[in-house]
Amino acid sequence: MHHPHKPLELTLARSARVLIVAHARARFPEECCGLLVGRLRAGKALVTRAVPAANIALPARRKRHFEIDPALLFTVQRALREHGATRHREVILGYFHSHPGGNARPSGADLAGAHEPGLVTLIAAPPRKAGRVPLRAWLRLGGGPSRRFRPLKITTDF
């Protein structure tokens, strides 16, 4: 899933934003998670849809950690390959997850678990089960000791 063109901005479909916020609220106080699917174009990651996933981390860890079911990842990758021509060459751009009652900045666990440079990490930070849910997007940079995230501007479009 490595992407040679690193986006400078993330454009999020309104329907994807609604789904991510609803998923974060529904899973509160545990972390939610899922995949960001779309296209890279002209320095932008265009997220056309979000695919929610079950958090398969051990139950005792779900308030601070997430793990996406690898079977879902495989299924989505295969579907994107098989329908590439009809879906305008969509790819998995990255992941989303939540920090319930926290903030929308990557945690140490996020950094440790982000193994692929060039992927987007979108974090929803619901302060409680209802109300506003801040979202922030980050791009995973480099490997080894330089592992870090760079913030991405988010716009909601189409």
What pTM does this model have? 0.89
Work out how many domains the chain is built from and give that number: 1
Tokens 């002209």 sit on residue: 42
Backbone angles phi, psi at 27, to 5 degrees: -90, -15
Instruction: State which amino acid sits at residue 131.
Output: G
Strand 9-13, strand 44-53: pairing: parallel
The CATH number given to whatever domain includes residue 49 is 3.40.140.10
Range of the structural domain that residue 146 is part of: 9-157
Is the residue at 1 inside a domain? no
CA distance 24 to 20: 6
Instruction: Encode the chain (158 residues) as per-residue pLDDT tens digits.
Output: 445 456 779 999 999 999 999 999 999 999 999 999 999 888 889 999 999 999 999 999 999 999 999 999 999 999 998 876 555 689 999 999 999 998 999 988 888 777 788 899 999 999 988 888 999 999 988 766 556 888 999 998 76
Collapsing DSSP to helix, strand or coil, 93 comes out as strand
